[in-house]
Amino acid sequence: MALRPDEFYDHAIASADGERRLSPARMTGWNISPFEQDGLRVAPLLPPVLPEPARHGEDPADCDSCRNRDEGIWLDDHWRLTRIARVGVPLVLMLHPRDHYDLDDLPDELAAELGRLTTHLARHIQALAHIGRAHVYRIGDGGAHLHVWFFARPEGQAQLYGSWMVVWDDLLPEYPADVADADAATVADALIASYGGWRP
């Protein structure tokens, strides 16, 4: 059984300093880290917040994703794909179910579609010129409506490997929007050809 919130906190704090700051050594020791260890400080680890605050869109009536269910760069009867603007990497796309579901209540039929769509999208993103890999993330702490992130890693940028890429994305200058729009359209067209759906 997982540690209770208080047990988890006590376990973590036991290895922290007097200000509840953990060592950054494990994460900054990777050669893909965007930060040098010298001078870097970890924020104090705060105690658990219980009950956890509600995520945006817990009530479908207040859900932006539900309100925008007909918007995106690609649609089919159950899913929509959007391009996230003002990012640092070449392309960031987000896949949402058109109806209000999270990952844990997604019906089996839609879960199977999610798996197929994820594979098709990763193939099409990686087929773009100068893209080394498609990273796929589902986090879910901010919004109750399922949203799966697809990040295009620029070819040759070895520091952007792995889990640090989302941090690098926030640090890099904004990628040219016209190039990202064109690549997003290429991915949408390829998805229509390989999977179906339409561009709105």
* 199, 192 contact by CB (below 8 A): yes
Number of domains composing the chain: 2
Per cent of the chain over pLDDT 70 is 100
30: CB partners within 8 A, 6+ apart: 162, 164
Q: Do residues 169 and 88 both lie within one domain?
A: yes
pTM: 0.93
Q: Give backbone dihedrals phi and psi of 64, rounded to 5 degrees, phi first.
A: -65, -40
Mean pLDDT of 41-54: 95
What is the structure's pLDDT at 28?
86
Q: Is residue 161's pLDDT more than 90?
A: yes
**Is residue 23, in this structure, part of any structural domain at all?**
yes
165: CB partners within 8 A, 6+ apart: 89, 135, 151, 153
Q: Do residues 7 and 85 both lie within one domain?
A: no
CATH number, position 156:
3.30.428.10
What is the structure's pLDDT at 24?
87
Question: pLDDT tier at 25 (50, 70, 90 boundaries)?
Answer: confident
What is the structure's pLDDT at 105?
96
What is the structure's pLDDT at 185?
98
What is the structure's pLDDT at 39?
87
What is the structure's pLDDT at 29?
83
Give the tens place of pLDDT for each residue, 69-121: 999 999 999 999 999 999 999 999 999 999 999 999 999 999 999 999 999 99
Give the tens place of pLDDT for each residue, 117-157: 999 999 999 999 999 999 999 999 999 999 999 999 999 99
Give the tens place of pLDDT for each residue, 36-45: 888 889 999 9
Q: Do residues 44 and 65 both lie within one domain?
A: no
What is the structure's pLDDT at 34?
94
Question: pLDDT tier at 27 (50, 70, 90 boundaries)?
Answer: confident
Domain that holds residue 17: 1-52
Q: Do residues 116 and 182 both lie within one domain?
A: yes
Mean pLDDT of the chain: 96
What is the structure's pLDDT at 97?
98
**Is residue 15, in this structure, part of any structural domain at all?**
yes
Q: Do residues 40 and 100 both lie within one domain?
A: no
d(Cα 169, Cα 160) in Å, to the nearest integer?
9
